[in-house]
Amino acid sequence: MTEPIKVMTVFGTRPEAIKLFPLVHTLESDPRFVSRVCVSAQHRDMLDQVLSIAGIEPDHDLDLMTPGQTLDALTARALVDIGAVLDSEKPDWVVVQGDTTTVMAGAIAAYYRKIPVCHVEAGLRSGDIHHPWPEEVNRRVVGTFAALHCAPTQTAADALLSENTDAATVHVTGNTVIDALHWVTKRIEAEPELAAGLSELEERFAGKRIIGMTSHRRENFGEGMRGIAEAVKRIAARDDVAIIFPVHLNPNVREVMNAELAGFDNVALIEPLDYPHFARLLDISYLMLSDSGGVQEEAPALGKPVLVMRETTERPEGIEAGTARLVGTDPNTIVIEVTRLLDDEDAYRAMARAHNPFGDGASAQRIADLLAS
Ligand code: UD1
Ligand code: UDP
Catalytic status, residue 355: no
**Residue 184, φ and ψ in degrees, nearest 5:** -70, -35
Separation CA 310–CA 306 (nearest Å): 12
Within a domain: residue 155? yes
Domain that holds residue 149: 5-175+359-372
Global pTM?
A: 0.98
Catalytic status, residue 317: no
User: Domain check: are 327 and 207 in the same one?
Assistant: yes
User: Domain check: are 363 and 273 in the same one?
Assistant: no
Residue 164 three-state SS: coil
**Exposure b/e, 98-126, CB count within 10 A at least 16 = b:** bbbbbbbbbbbbbbeeebbbbbbbbbbbb
Within a domain: residue 180? no
The structural domain count of the chain equals 2
The pLDDT tens digits of the residues spanning 259-306 come to: 999 999 999 999 999 999 999 999 999 999 999 999 999 999 999 999
Catalytic status, residue 121: yes
Within a domain: residue 181? no
Asked if residue 62 lies in contact with residue 76, where contact means CB atoms within 8 angstroms, the answer is no
| pLDDT bucket at 1, cuts 50 / 70 / 90 | low
251 lines ligand 1 (CB under 6 A): yes
pLDDT of amino acid 66: 97
pLDDT of amino acid 191: 97
Within a domain: residue 185? no
To test the pocket of ligand 1, the residue of 10, 11, 13 to mutate (highest count of ligand atoms within 8 Å of its CB) is 13
Closest by CA to 197, choosing from 144, 254, 275, 130, is 275
Catalytic status, residue 63: no
User: Domain check: are 293 and 313 in the same one?
Assistant: yes
User: Domain check: are 115 and 213 in the same one?
Assistant: no
Asked if residue 244 lies in contact with residue 210, where contact means CB atoms within 8 angstroms, the answer is yes
Within a domain: residue 309? yes
Catalytic status, residue 163: no
Within a domain: residue 50? yes
User: Domain check: are 207 and 329 in the same one?
Assistant: yes
| pLDDT bucket at 349, cuts 50 / 70 / 90 | very high
Taking residues 333-343, report their average pLDDT. Answer: 98
| Nearby residues of 41 by Cβ (< 8 Å), 6 or more positions away | 12, 47, 61, 62, 63, 64, 65
Distance between Cα 250 and ligand 2 center (Å): 13
CA–CA distances in Å: residue 290 to residues 167, 276, 352, 355: 34, 18, 16, 18
Minimum CA distance residue for ligand 1 atom 31: 250
254 lines ligand 1 (CB under 6 A): no
Within a domain: residue 289? yes
User: Domain check: are 296 and 314 in the same one?
Assistant: yes
Position 287: which residue type? L
User: Domain check: are 152 and 204 in the same one?
Assistant: no
| Nearby residues of 365 by Cβ (< 8 Å), 6 or more positions away | 26
* CA-only gyration radius of the chain, Å: 20
Quote the percentage of the chain above a pLDDT of 70.
Answer: 100
For residue 104, give the ligand nearest its CA: 1
User: Domain check: are 80 and 104 in the same one?
Assistant: yes
User: Domain check: are 29 and 149 in the same one?
Assistant: yes
Catalytic residue among 25, 36, 125, 248: 248
Distance between Cα 309 and ligand 2 center (Å): 14
pLDDT exceeds 70 at position 363: yes
The pLDDT tens digits of the residues spanning 115-169 come to: 999 999 999 999 999 989 999 999 999 999 999 999 999 999 999 999 999 999 9
- DSSP letter assigned to residue 267: E
Q: Looking at ligand 2, which atom is closest to the CA of residue 13? A: 20
CA–CA distances in Å: residue 275 to residues 38, 47, 49, 103, 338: 20, 11, 8, 21, 25
User: Domain check: are 164 and 218 in the same one?
Assistant: no
User: Domain check: are 107 and 123 in the same one?
Assistant: yes
Catalytic status, residue 209: no
The pLDDT tens digits of the residues spanning 25-52 come to: 999 999 999 999 999 999 999 999 999 9
User: Domain check: are 364 and 347 in the same one?
Assistant: no
31 lines ligand 1 (CB under 6 A): no
Distance between Cα 5 and ligand 1 center (Å): 32
Q: In 10 A of CB 34, how many CB atoms?
A: 17
Q: In 10 A of CB 349, how many CB atoms?
A: 11
Within a domain: residue 187? no
Side-chain-facing half-sphere of 232: CA atoms under 13 Å: 34
Separation CA 287–CA 193 (nearest Å): 24
For residue 46, give the ligand nearest its CA: 1
Looking at residue 297, which CATH number applies to its domain? Answer: 3.40.50.2000
